[in-house]
Amino acid sequence: MDVAEMKSRLAAAEVAHLATVGDGDRPHLVPVCFVLADDRLYFAVDAKPKRTRDLKRLRNIAANPAVSVLVDHYEDDWSKLWWVRVDGTARKVGDSAEAGRAIELLMARYPQYRAARPAGPVVAISIERLSGWTGS
């Protein structure tokens, strides 16, 4: 899979899986809704039910910005399986213009966000490496 194809599949995926590393070098894993813009992935803490907005994913990123993000496709015909992985560096977006632009892009992408604008914080992931795999 070439880089253009990986980016195209990444951009089209509605949900991704975000791995961060926490205390005791334990991995942590959550699904995220995201948008791809300018070779960065953005996601926002949103209104989906949560115990707290001081989320483990954010604490992990503050202590260790290395993240891995996977989008994939599963079906019974394993020759049609594929995945695309981003290895990158995450940061909480401090600049309010950049955060606002990311939220606008998320709202343009997800009607659910137009109904309930995500409050943030926003996280940007710089893509350092793209990997792709197909089952065929």
User: Which residues bind to a copy of itself, rule: CB under 8 A?
Assistant: 14-15, 17, 19-21, 24-31, 48-49, 64, 66-70, 72, 74, 76, 78, 81, 83, 85, 87, 111-112, 133-136
Go through 73-85 and write b for each residue having 16 or more CB atoms within 10 A of its CB, e for each that does not: eeeeeeeeebbbb
- In whole angstroms, the minimum distance from the beta carbon of 47 to a copy of itself comes to 9
Which residue number, 36 or 68, has a Cβ lying nearer to a copy of itself?
68
- In whole angstroms, the minimum distance from the beta carbon of 96 to a copy of itself comes to 26
Q: What's the CA gap between 6 and 10, in Å, rounded?
A: 6
Residues in contact with 115: Cβ distance below 8 Å, sequence separation at least 6, in sequence order: none
Which residue number, 16 or 102, has a Cβ lying nearer to a copy of itself?
16
The DSSP annotation for 11-38 comes to HH-S-EEEEEE-GGG-EEEEEE--EEET
Q: What's the CA gap between 134 and 72, in Å, rounded?
A: 10
Q: Which uninterrupted H or E stretch holds 18? A: strand 16-21
Which residue number, 55 or 98, has a Cβ lying nearer to a copy of itself?
55
SS3 of residue 126 by DSSP: strand
- In whole angstroms, the minimum distance from the beta carbon of 88 to a copy of itself comes to 10
Which residue number, 84 or 93, has a Cβ lying nearer to a copy of itself?
84
- In whole angstroms, the minimum distance from the beta carbon of 79 to a copy of itself comes to 9
